[in-house]
Amino acid sequence: MKERLQNTLSDKRVIAMVYVLFALAASLLSLRGTKTFVEGGLVYNNYNNYTIFEKSFEHLQNGQDLYASYPLEHWDLFKYTPSFSVFFGVFHILPDWLGLSLWNLLNAMVLLSAVYFLPKLSPYQKGLVLAIIVIELMTSMQNAQSNGLIAGLMVFSLGFLERGKTFWATLCIVASMFVKLFGIVGFALFLFYPKKWKSALYALFWSGVLLAIPFLFVDFEQYAKLYGSYWHMLANDHEASYGYSVMGWLNSWFSIEIDKNTIVAFGIVVFLLPFYKIKMYGEFDFKYLVLISILIWIVIFNHKAESPTFIIAMTGVALWFVRGEKSRLNIILFVGAFVLTVLSPTDLFPKYVRDEFVRPYVLKAFPCILIWLKVIYDLVMLKKEDSPTRQAA
């Protein structure tokens, strides 16, 4: 039985087929029915986030403010860059059933391809990572979110850097930034590779390209207004909530109300603690753990983190577990993450438990916070004589 499972997980075609089926299933489920976000409020479709993305291109073409409220079209605001709006012009011309399916397939296939692109992991380890995160990816895709895409771009960046393809690595990080700003943390990986000046030039190049794309549809005056509105939206959005984050955990467990910027600053300090180990910069294990730290950090220190965001953090958790030591502590931490982070939003948990315990006490984020601290500890304790070859689970 164990050998058959290992063979199945080692088969890229099987895993790819599962991901395609999950993406299509998520799209089909989203296309059915409607929902309201407040009792007695307007009725919206079940793929509201996709509608936000898709309608943003129409607003861009019409010279409208991308960051204004359009309650007759969708719930919530567009919170991405104008460049992302241009990207969604490709989907705007398609019927919703096809565009939504292709969008979810893009998220699934980028993440799958990125994991398979990583060096030094066996086919079984890669298959196991993808098996661990598929339920969390489903949560993201059912909400038509971009988080699978972001996770994939971050993982791809390490794969490209290890192959000396800095040009494409910078594209991955810059592209993730132009979807959600926290992607900028991914540039920390570039500290461990030579020719940093070249990386900086490539980053400037790609940033210039992506910044210029909206000029295909707007003039300079409208462009300036859009970015002014974008920054205003982000500033106001910063005060809106604690989310499934370190801030939310501290507030819900201990009634601590610390300024969010203070907590993020503390998180940056802890994140950077292992970077003093300059002699480890050339070791793959060190860079691999830093990638994992980044993937978890950008979620647990994001005051707007929601359940669908955690595909990014769980990608880090899965990468950490499959290649790490299978100590009792690591196993307990991983099982806690799988149960509370992955399974708690599903129907396996009674609604009462979700409403009274999981959400109020930020239990989805708690295991990821603990694992991130363990990753920081692993980075600090990692030595050159440690074997770079880890055993699969």
Per-residue pLDDT, 347: 82
Packing angle of the helix pair 123-142, 310-323 (nearest 10 deg) = 160
Per-residue pLDDT, 38: 85
Q: How many CA atoms lie within 13 A of 185 on its CB side?
A: 26
Distance (Å, rounded) from C-alpha 92 to C-alpha 316?
32
Per-residue pLDDT, 335: 97
**pTM to 2 decimal places:** 0.94
128: CB partners within 8 A, 6+ apart: 9, 318, 322, 392, 393
Residues in the chain: 393
Per-residue pLDDT, 339: 96
Is 183:176 a contact under the CB 8 Å cutoff? yes
Q: Which residue has the tokens 């489920």?
A: 29
Residue ranges of alpha helices (H) inside 11-47 are: 12-31
Per-residue pLDDT, 233: 87
- Low-confidence residues in the chain, pLDDT < 50: 387-393
User: Which long-range contacts (C-beta less than 8 Å, at least 24 apart) are formed by 189-194?
Assistant: 189/157, 189/158, 189/161, 189/287, 189/290, 189/291, 189/294, 190/161, 190/166, 191/275, 191/281, 192/161, 192/281, 192/282, 192/286, 192/287, 192/290, 193/161, 193/166
Which residues is 59 bridged to in the sheet? none
- What are the tens digits of pLDDT across the range 180-212? 889 999 999 999 999 899 999 999 999 999 999
Is 225:60 a contact under the CB 8 Å cutoff? no
Measured between alpha carbons, how far is residue 382 from residues 281, 284, 310, 316, 365 in Å? 11, 11, 26, 18, 26
Per-residue pLDDT, 351: 87
Is 210:83 a contact under the CB 8 Å cutoff? yes
Q: What's the CA angle centered on 315, arms 195 and 364, to 5 degrees?
A: 130
Per-residue pLDDT, 243: 83
Q: Which helix (H) or strand (E) holds 376?
A: helix 366-381
Packing angle of the helix pair 48-61, 96-117 (nearest 10 deg) = 110
Q: What are phi and psi of 45, to 5 degrees?
A: -75, 170
- What are the tens digits of pLDDT across the range 210-253? 999 999 999 999 999 999 999 988 887 755 567 899 999 998 99
Per-residue pLDDT, 240: 56
Residue ranges of alpha helices (H) inside 163-195 are: 166-179
- Domain positions in the chain are 2-381
Residue ranges of alpha helices (H) inside 121-165 are: 123-142, 147-162
Q: Is residue 246 packed enough to be buried (19+ CB in 10 Å), middle (13-18) or exposed (0-12)?
A: buried
Q: Which residue has the tokens 């980044």?
A: 294
Among 108, 103, 44, which residue's Cα sits nearest to residue 74?
A: 44
Q: Residue 47 carries which DSSP code?
A: T
Q: Which helix (H) or strand (E) holds 192?
A: none
